[in-house]
Amino acid sequence: MLDSAGKVAERGAELVARVLRVRPNAVLGLATGKTPIKLYRQLIGKYRAGELSFGRVSTFNLDEYLGIEPDDPRSYRAYMEREFFGHVDIDRANTHIPACPPGENPKQVGPRYEERIRHAGGIDLQILGIGQNGHIGFNEPSSSLNSRTRVKTLAGKTVEDNSELLSPGEFQPRLAITMGIATIMQARRVLLLATGAKKAAAVAQMVEGPVTAMCPASILQMHEYVTVLVDEAAAAALKNRAYYDLTFRENEALDERFGAYYADS
Ligand code: GLP
């Protein structure tokens, strides 16, 4: 738990930087939404300061809307350009988003995307946000915990949250292509960021609730290597907060003394 959304982004960026130091050609899983914007700004800052290069990095985004063209400012491709890719030295050929080209069968996109991830050697670090209803990517409550990249119908709550970003009368996507829960679980390491009071209930359910498809993020309890970074407001409903803070500090102290452990390094 950190005091502010700014600190969450700083710590998150430091963690990404540590991974890239060990593995400059890492495969990163990327998220969209409001939460990771500050993290991307921090990474851009590190790139500009000459601390990091994305020249050998490949990326796989979690999800994309169906029926929105890549050059539409509402697409996640446009978001990634605006918030991150356009400001760093990443090779666009190494950036992947599960978009469905016009006229193609969206059901074929998922298996192809999975194949690309496999071909790249799997995801080293998956960055995640969390929806107010506990979704990760667009894996809405009731999604199979064993799902793979596929077309998903957005939940009413997600459509409602997204509608804040649209002008009245604008086409509102109700379908998306998202990495599945099993796809996310296969990442070697996961970094989930949550900030703000609206996320408090979902964070508590994810960390302290039962593992259930009704809170897709709760499956992360079964992942081998997850870091959850939250600010005060998002941590507010956690019962066992003092213990998590202690664990975090102890781990930091160990990392400082011995260097950060990184699986497969
Ligand atoms: C969207 C995205 C998720 C994201 C979530 C939370 O639905 N598909 O990947 O984590 O929203 O977004 P925000 O960070 O804006 O709260």
Give me ligand 1 centre to Cα 33, in Å. 4
Domains of the chain: 5-258 (3.40.50.1360)
Query: Cβ(193) to ligand 1 under 6 A?
Result: no
Q: Extract the residue ranges of the chain whose pLDDT is less than 50.
A: 264-265
Could you tell me which of 248, 246, 180, 245 has the C-alpha nearest to residue 219?
180
Q: What is the DSSP string of 66-126?
A: SS--TTSTTSHHHHHHHHTGGGS---GGGEE-----TTS-GGGHHHHHHHHHHHTT--SEE
Give the pLDDT confidence score for residue 232 in this predicted structure.
95
For the segment 157-194, what is each residue's pLDDT rounded down to a tens digit?
A: 888 887 777 777 788 889 999 999 999 999 999 999 99
Compute, in angstroms, the gap from residue 39 CA to the centroid of ligand 1.
Answer: 14
| Cα–Cα distance measured from residue 258 to residue 245, given in angstroms and rounded to the nearest whole number | 20
Please work out whether the CB of residue 76 comes within 6 Å of at least one atom of ligand 1.
no
Query: Which residues on neighbouring strands pair with residue 128, listed in sequence order?
Result: 192
Extract the runs of DSSP E, i.e. beta strands, from 130-225: 150-153, 175-178, 189-194
Give SS3 for 71. Answer: coil
Question: Taking a C-beta distance cutoff of 8 angstroms, is the pair 214, 133 a contact?
Answer: no
138 touches ligand 1 (CB under 6 Å): yes
What pLDDT shows up at residue 262?
A: 56
Predicted TM-score of the model (pTM): 0.94
* In contact, 220 and 206? CB cutoff 8 Å: yes
**So what's the pLDDT on residue 177?**
97
